[in-house]
Amino acid sequence: MTTLKTDQTSEACPAQALLKLLSGKWKPQLFKLATLSPLRFNTLLRQLEGSNKQSLSVALKELEEAGILQKSVLKLKPLHIEYYLTEKGKALLPVFLSLENLI
């Protein structure tokens, strides 16, 4: 019997890869807030008590790189940046709702 190494396990199991991606500081809260409306960075800083610019930026970037959030630059003065759920992110809604129902 062969055992999988930790880094190979996430490749072999999509659910584990998803949990690894969505675990991390602020990511579940960001996902939930993104289901309600587009997210603005400074609004998030105020809503996520205890967050800071660096950890929030990292979480947003990782979710964006994974294709769950998309960043949109609105050419207004001052410049506005919003994050919103992509189709891939919207496809995860039933998974999150199922998890909430388990608690």
In eight-state DSSP terms, residue 48 is: S
pLDDT at 88: 93
Instruction: Say how far apart CA 31 and CA 103 lie, in whole Å.
Output: 17
* pLDDT tops 90 at residue 80: no
* pLDDT tops 50 at residue 33: yes
pLDDT at 1: 42
Instruction: Say how far apart CA 2 and CA 8 lie, in whole Å.
Output: 12
* pLDDT tops 50 at residue 2: no
What domains, with CATH codes, occur in the chain?
A: 27-102 (1.10.10.10)
* pLDDT tops 70 at residue 6: no
* pLDDT tops 60 at residue 101: yes
* pLDDT tops 90 at residue 53: yes
The answer to whether the beta carbons of residues 72 and 82 sit under 8 Å apart is yes
